């Protein structure tokens, strides 16, 4: 009598007798579905294709095959094929399809933790090889907000490029949200920005801290007052340069803590425009003392004493969690830090001289 061949593995049954088959349990609308894992023996030690990892990471990020394909400059079918091949090689479903959206399975979540580390290492290896111990092939890719571009980067870039003339620098100065998206998609190495709400996959390294103060024109009724009356604050016009969310958030937090509801706020596009409006007596400006040091020295602007202390503001370096700066990045960041500290120190000396 011939030896009986084992029947096919049935859904919902365990199969401990066959080491080549395991189960991945997926919870879908309360029903546990068993998906057999049958990775071919010859594929168990095969290295996963980096393009499949990239497709997986993009799909996790966007939760949509269409958006993932757009991010990777591929067709939707190419991304779908890469994920299908990856799941086949691993032997387990990594995503659940819910309409046009995809969500990670439990196995997909575990795989995601591994792939984030893999992508970080691959990026670090690429940067290290590109640098190659010389400036010939090195490239510095960074993002920076308007304040950094106006006050810090001109000097920092001049000094850096003088020290590393063969290192190319690529700068992105879009909105903060756009720059952080570039950071998360590995299109820039770090971003110079103001501290904002925490983000799960980003770290924010302190760079510099200063304070914002209220300033008015020398001829303004608030000039010289030891304390501005609360009743006068609500009816004032506040001139806030730019439309950066961080500065507006700091100001909103202050007004909320003081239980003040200002009626009018103007947001000119630049700090220079804001200073000119305030000097003309149009309203009350919010600046860091070092931003208006020249105007304060000339007497065209003076501090309006609304708050008992300045409104703290933090400048930070944003980067992906787990990523480490190479020597060129660290060199550039240290130059920026020194420039900011010099601006702060100069303002302190000026304040002492005018006291």
**Two tokens, residue 136:** 């010939």
- Give the DSSP per-residue string, 13-50: ---TT-TT-EEEEEEETTEEEEEEE---GGGTTPPPPH
Class of the domain covering 135-203+319-348 = alpha beta
Single pTM value for the model: 0.56
What contacts 340, CB < 8 A, 6 or more positions away?
152, 207, 208, 210, 315
CB of 346 within 8 A of CB of 293?
yes
- Give the DSSP per-residue string, 305-337: --SSS-EEEEEEEEEETT----HHHHHHHHHHH
| Domain locations in the chain as residue ranges | 22-127, 135-203+319-348, 208-314
Beta strand 31-37 pairing with 22-28 = antiparallel
Q: Which one of 1.10.10.10, 1.10.10.1100, 1.20.1250.20, 3.40.50.300 gives the CATH number of domain 22-127? A: 1.10.10.10
3-state secondary structure of 170: strand
Q: What pLDDT sits at residue 34? A: 37
**Two tokens, residue 43:** 């594929």
CB of 200 within 8 A of CB of 133?
no
Q: Which residues of the chain have pLDDT under 70?
A: 1-45, 127-137, 243-244, 345-355
* Measured CA angle at 164 (ends 172, 340), to 5 deg: 60
Determine the number of helices (DSSP H) and then strands (DSSP E) in the chain. 12, 13
Q: What pLDDT sits at residue 224? A: 84
Topology agreement, domain 135-203+319-348 and domain 208-314? yes
Q: Which one of 1.10.10.10, 3.40.190.290, 3.40.228.10, 3.30.70.141 gives the CATH number of domain 208-314? A: 3.40.190.290
């Amino acid at each position: 009598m011939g030896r009986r061949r084992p029947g096919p593995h049935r859904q919902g049954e365990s199969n401990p007798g066959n080491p080549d088959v395991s189960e991945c349990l997926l919870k879908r609308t309360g029903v546990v579905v068993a998906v057999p894992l049958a990775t071919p023996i010859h594929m168990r030690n095969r290295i996963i294709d980096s393009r499949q990892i990239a497709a997986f990471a993009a799909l996790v990020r966007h939760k949509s095959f269409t958006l993932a394909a757009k991010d990777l400059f591929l067709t939707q079918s190419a991304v779908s094929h890469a994920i299908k091949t990856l799941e086949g090689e691993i032997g387990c479903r990594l995503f659940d399809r819910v309409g046009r959206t995809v969500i990670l399975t439990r196995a997909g979540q575990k795989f995601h933790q591994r792939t984030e580390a893999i992508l970080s290492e691959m990026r670090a290896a690429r940067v290290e090889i590109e640098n190659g111990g010389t400036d010939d092939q090195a490239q510095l890719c960074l993002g920076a907000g308007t304040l950094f571009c106006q006050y810090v980067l001109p000097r920092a870039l001049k000094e850096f490029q003088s020290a590393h003339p063969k290192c190319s620098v690529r700068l992105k100065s879009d909105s903060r949200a756009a720059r952080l998206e570039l950071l998360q998609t590995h299109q820039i190495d770090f971003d110079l920005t103001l501290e904002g709400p925490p983000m799960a996959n980003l770290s924010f390294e302190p760079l510099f801290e200063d304070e914002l103060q209220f300033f008015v024109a020398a001829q303004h009724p608030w000039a010289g007052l030891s304390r501005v009356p609360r009743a006068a604050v609500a009816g004032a016009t506040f001139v806030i340069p730019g439309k950066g969310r961080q500065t507006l958030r700091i100001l909103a937090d202050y007004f909320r803590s003081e239980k003040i509801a200002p009626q009018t706020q103007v947001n000119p596009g630049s700090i220079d425009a804001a200073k000119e409006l305030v000097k003309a007596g149009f309203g009350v400006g919010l600046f860091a003392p070092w931003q208006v040091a020249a105007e304060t020295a000339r007497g065209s602007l003076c501090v309006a004493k609304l708050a008992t202390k300045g409104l703290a503001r933090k400048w930070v370096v944003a980067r992906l969690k787990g990523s480490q700066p190479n020597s060129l990045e660290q060199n550039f960041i240290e130059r920026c830090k020194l420039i900011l500290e010099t601006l702060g120190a100069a303002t302190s000396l000026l304040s002492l001289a005018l006291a």
